[in-house]
Every structure is written in structure tokens, then in C-alpha cells.
Amino acid sequence: MSVIRSNLKAVMENHDPKLSIRKLAKDIDYHFDSVRRMYKDEMVQYPRDLLLKLCLYFKVQPGQLIIMEEIVESDWPIDESIEHQEDGNDKESGTSGNL
């Protein structure tokens, strides 16, 4: 299965290992929380204006900030709190569909 992930952390470390999220947010004049969420790969949607500012700041293309990764099923987190419930439509019936 493929997933889209933020690569901002790696781009920042490659640019300047000492660069903080707070300093970056201030330098590009953007909300700290949004930059932090992208850094931690917690962002669901990537705002165009944020991507543009980051691309200009780091002199990179958007494809260097957002990457596609292949993950294997064994890497998926397991949520044991979810109970599987059968849907009535999924059950096989002994009838042949007589009307």
C-alpha cells in the first residue's frame, strides 16, 4: 500500500540541522502549528501557500517536501479496541431469493 508523507523533517535537517520549527515558521511568516504538523507528518492536507513558501525557502520542488512511500501490511498500527461487527447484508442466507 502506498501513502503520501511529509518529508519536511529531512529537508530541514539537510538544509540546517540546527533549524527549529519555530524559527522556520517565523522565517516564512507562517503559523507555527501548521509548520509543526507538517514537520511531524500529522497534516492531512497541504496548503498551497505553505508549500510555496517552503519551496522558496529551501529552494526545492514540492516533490521533495511531499513523498510517496510504500508500506507493508505488517507496519500498519493495530487498533485492538475496534470490534468487528457483522453487517446483516454480509451474512449468507439459506434462501435462493424466492419472491
Could you write out the DSSP letters of every residue in 24-89? HHHHTT--HHHHHHHHTT--SS--HHHHHHHHHHHT--HHHHEEEEE--GGGSPP-TTPPP---GG
Domain spans of the chain? 2-74
Question: 4: exposed, middle or buried (C-beta count within 10 Å: 0-12, 13-18, 19+)?
Answer: exposed
pLDDT number for residue 79: 55
Residue-wise pLDDT tens digits, 5-45: 999 999 999 999 999 999 999 999 999 999 999 999 999 99
Q: What angle do CA 75, 76, 80 make, to 5 degrees?
A: 130
Predicted TM-score (pTM) of this structure: 0.71
Q: With 50 as the cut, is the pLDDT of residue 73 above it?
A: yes
Return the CATH number of 2-74, one of 3.40.50.970, 3.40.50.300, 3.40.30.10, 1.10.260.40: 1.10.260.40
